[in-house]
Homo-oligomer: A and B are copies of this chain.
Amino acid sequence: MRFKLPLLAIGLEVAMIVLFALFVHYETDHNVHQQINTTTPGAVDKFLVSYALFQDVHVMIFVGFGFLMTFLKKYGFSSVGINLFIAALGLQWGTLIRGILHHHNQEIHVEIENMINADFSTATVLISFGAVLGKISPIQMLIMTIIEITVFIGNEYLVGEIFKASDIGASMTIHAFGAYFGLAAAGILYRPGLRKEHDNEESVYHSDLFAMIGTLFLWIFWPSFNSAIADAGEKQYRAIINTYFSLAACVVTAYAFSSLVEHRGKLDMVHIQNATLAGGVAVGTCADMEIYPYISMIIGSIAAMVSVLGFKFLTPFFATKLRIHDTCGVHNLHGLPGVVGGLAGIGAVALGASNKSTPAMQAAALGSSIGTAVGGGLITGPQ
């Protein structure tokens, strides 16, 4: 058994290298080449500007998600360590699977946008990881990474290419999907003994500060997450502005509701670490639409409210009644706010904030994201 993890990991990496050798090439036709011909003093390399957005997302995936889960005193190192492991594997697999669906003459041409999408596909697994942390082994995480990213890219294709729905910040395809996939797997993995192990789930003072490193870098760079693959120009600019204001309103509302539901009006650290981010999740679907900043702020405030109430009332209910134990509360940070985002998207499209989609197609996208996630999680759980 001792050699199972190294052999599986080496086998997967060798497979990746062979598949990359067969399929993956540099992007050479237009994006990069044409710039060479136009190196006038004022012109710059366009890919370098996208690269700055990619780096913001990259920080969110590896520092943000990695440190967000360090609040558990016993799982600090394994959360940040395993986060790096599965993200590094997942980005290679995501590049391949996504590339095969969008190939050019049997070749995958890698440019900055592929790297952003590869990072995005790992985000789903990292969200699910928050629900099953402490329940599964590194080997099971590797298997889950391969299965979940495949299902995710399938659903993403369905949402974007078949339904032609809008989901620029991926409230539905990444956040709701990742949360419900993880919750379904956590439901399968439930053992009565788990509740006795809750001692491992306490935080200590310094572990809470480490988690704030994750929270803050996620919060700061979320406008980049929601705008990274938006159409250049007006839409990308709107995705930045809307996310910025949604997050600001979300923080104020999250603190208010945390103080409201806690004993003696104290602030709860778990709410500060998580619910402050719900506005970034929920504004995702309609971030690039013409919804005006104040609507973004309303979406952010609703998400904060839903998230704090979820932590306070739903998570204990899930653990005791539904036998679904959600280690890091991903349902409250990604699941519910993702659904809020999907519903906001249906409303925004119905009110004409975007003419690229219809309310029915947006609803189909939301249903498909939750459905494939639950299905995928139930299948993956027993592995």
* Residues of chain A having any CB pair with chain B under 8 Å: 1-7, 9-10, 12-13, 16-18, 20-21, 24-28, 30-36, 38-49, 51-53, 55-56, 58-59, 62-63, 66, 70, 76-77, 80-81, 84-85, 88-89, 91-92, 110-112, 115, 138, 205-206, 208-210, 212-213, 216-217, 219-221, 224, 232-234, 236-238, 240-241, 244-245, 247-253, 255-257, 259-260, 264-265, 267, 269, 272, 276, 290, 292-294, 297-298, 301
Q: Is the CB of B252 within 8 A of A9?
A: yes
Check A256 against B39 for contact (C-beta < 8 Å): no
Closest-by-CB residue of B relative to A2 is B265
* Contact, CB under 8 Å: A260 / B224: no
Partner pick for A272 among B32, B81, B112, B217, CB 8 A cutoff:
B81
**In the A-B complex, the 9 residue pairs with the closest CB atoms:** A88-B251, A42-B43, A9-B256, A21-B294, A20-B294, A38-B42, A6-B260, A6-B256, A34-B41
Task: Specify which chain B residues have a CB less than 8 angstroms from the CB of A27 in the assembled complex.
Answer: 237
Which residue, A3, A34, A43, A56, has most C-beta atoms of chain B within 10 A? A43
Q: Choose among B36, B41, B241 the residue that contacts A110 (Cβ–Cβ < 8 A).
A: B241
Closest Cβ–Cβ distance, residue A307 to chain B (whole Å): 15
* B52–A48 CB distance below 8 A: yes
